[in-house]
Amino acid sequence: MRVIDGKGGAFVAVRRLPQGLLRGSGCRSSPGSAAWIGRGLSCVCAQRRGGDVRLLFDFTPSQEECLQRLQSRMNVAYDSTKKEHQEALRALWYTAYPGVELHGLISNQWKEMGWQGKDPSTDFRGGGLMSLENLLFFAKNYPKSFQDLLQKKDGIRAMWEYPFSVAGVNITFMLKQMFDLQAAKPRSMVEAIFLKLLSENEQAFDVLYCITFKIMDQQWLAMHASYMDFNMVMNSTRLRLEQELLTEDVHRIEDMPSYMLLNH
């Protein structure tokens, strides 16, 4: 089928792939082919003659609800005057350092966890309350992996290490951008795959956060990085995560190769 776009460019091989067909189609994205593996996603696939592929994804009402709930979480800023936010921050401390008394929500103790100063609330701007929730989820659900990263137990560490908690806030921010969570609908294959994972597991973002943190530390060690290399490590981490999500055999978060990095 041939379609002309609004700019006069010709698309070829436009094809709608329903959910049932996509799951078993075994389609691959390749030069000259308009069929992409969708893994349960309903999409319209259109390829220009020059090889530029555009994907337009449909999603179900339940997927839309999941996305809206995640977006509502994402838009909440950390507010140091709210008791529930204070309690979440206090819970993070006692989960990270059980048995160690916290002297206050503003204290030099927080620097031990990798916050930039004695008041962690000043570091939440990029990630909002969600970045605190992600750290707390990690600490409660994968305590061994959390402690290994917090205490930098693995590998030969740099003299100037990345600050643990600030790195966590950056990971939350990176994932928000990577999945374009402000968009009404997914506009890339990675975003659509994430939405499908989210519809099957409402904790998908939180679990992917934990996986991403482990990948980031692994990349940090492999690259023999120091503090000034942090942005480069984050870019490498994002590329690795995207590659894993696009792997044909990944239908659940547990199928991702790096899921095995997590220890309870």
Query: What is the per-residue pLDDT across 187-218, written as a single tens digit (0 to 9) for each?
Result: 888 998 998 899 889 999 999 999 999 999 99
Read off the DSSP letter of residue 225: -
- Spatial separation of the C-alpha atoms in residues 66 and 82, rounded to whole Å: 26
- List the structure tokens of 128: 């909002």
> Average pLDDT over the chain, rounded to whole?
81
pTM of the model: 0.80
Report which secondary-structure segment, H or E, holds 3. strand 2-4
- Spatial separation of the C-alpha atoms in residues 115 and 120, rounded to whole Å: 6
| pLDDT value of residue 11 | 31
Mean pLDDT lowest for which of 134-143, 162-171, 178-187?
178-187
**For residue range 9-33, what is the model confidence (pLDDT) as tens digits?**
333 333 333 343 333 333 333 333 3
- Spatial separation of the C-alpha atoms in residues 116 and 165, rounded to whole Å: 9
Which carries the bigger pLDDT value, residue 176 or residue 64?
A: 176
End-to-end Cα spacing for the chain: 51
| pLDDT value of residue 63 | 81
Contact between 188 and 209 under an 8 Å Cβ cutoff? The reply is no
Instruction: Sketch the domain layout of the chain as residue ranges.
Output: 1-58, 60-261
Mean pLDDT of 132-157: 94
| pLDDT value of residue 180 | 92
State yes or no: pLDDT of 54 exceeds 60.
no
State yes or no: pLDDT of 96 exceeds 60.
yes
* Closest listed residue to residue 3, CA positions, set 75, 68, 54, 63: 54
| pLDDT value of residue 55 | 57
